[in-house]
Structure 1
């Protein structure tokens, strides 16, 4: 089997691999949570919230692919399996069933806040060992912060 060998020293690669894997899990779960809420949102702001949730799903899916491909480029096998995501995501679960639009907005603002906090930790931890991966985390965080702002503004 072909294995990609990173030019990073082993200790740096471990730090970066952990950051990339954590980001992948959080982004996959963010997409799942947003889609779950998207299917179940109800209320007077249904349409706008429904569409806004799909924007988060699209962003999270795009970023998860970028993060996973960066891991692969460094010779780290990305793990986006459901069991891995369930075991290691930092996002709180959302309840089953219908979700009032204001609760949906709050749930997504909370989920985004959690992921952003964890992404900022990854930005810090990868600054020295791999500025390329750090750059990816910076771009992901900037995009998620835009979504976070918009969801917070919905409930202001």
Structure 2
């Protein structure tokens, strides 16, 4: 899509590719978080159930920010479930688990993979010269690190 964004075309194209890949990861992480939210069981249910919902909302906001940046650069964000499943770098979320501990472990593994992919995006976009996308992923990663800490604290 034509845009009046003044970044050079090469940088825009490079960032669009990175943003789309990270959008797929982010949407997949959102689905993992909702899966945990819906299926967790245990004595601390309400606290962890509500935390998972809060994290899912934050991840959805992150996905929206990534998609909007992608569109700002002239790209066309794809968040359809089939595209996400095909393009995510996250491992599938385990089925058939219910305990708080197992969901905390599984969700932290998924979110840590997401954080790693965002950190790689930071490095890539910084090297290519897209400071705004670098800043976006830096901000999102800081927030995600906090959520991982909040979740993993339930298994301390």
TM-score with structure 2 setting the length:
0.92
TM-fit CA distance, 1:4: 2.6
Measured after TM superposition, the shift of residue 26 of structure 1 is 1.3
Deviation, 1:116, is: 0.5
- Unaligned regions of 5+ residues in structure 1, if any? none
8 Å contact from structure 1 (residues 42, 98) kept in 2: no
Match status 1:37 vs 2:39? no
The Cα of 1:98 is off from its aligned counterpart by 4.5
Q: SS of 1:42's equivalent?
A: coil
Give ranges in structure 2 of 5+ residues lacking alignment. Answer: none
Q: Which residue of structure 2 lines up, in the alignment, with residue 144 of structure 1?
A: 144
Match of 1:60, SS state, is helix
TM-score, structure 1 normalization: 0.92
Match of 1:67 in 2: 66
- Aligned-pair distance for 1:38? 0.7
Give the Å deviation of 1:95: 2.6
Backbone CA RMSD of aligned residues: 1.5
Which segments of structure 1 move beyond 6 Å, counting only runs of 4 or more? Answer: none
| CA deviation string 1:37-94 (max 9, x = no partner) | 1111111121111111111110111111111011111101111111111011122212
How many residues are matched?
Answer: 155
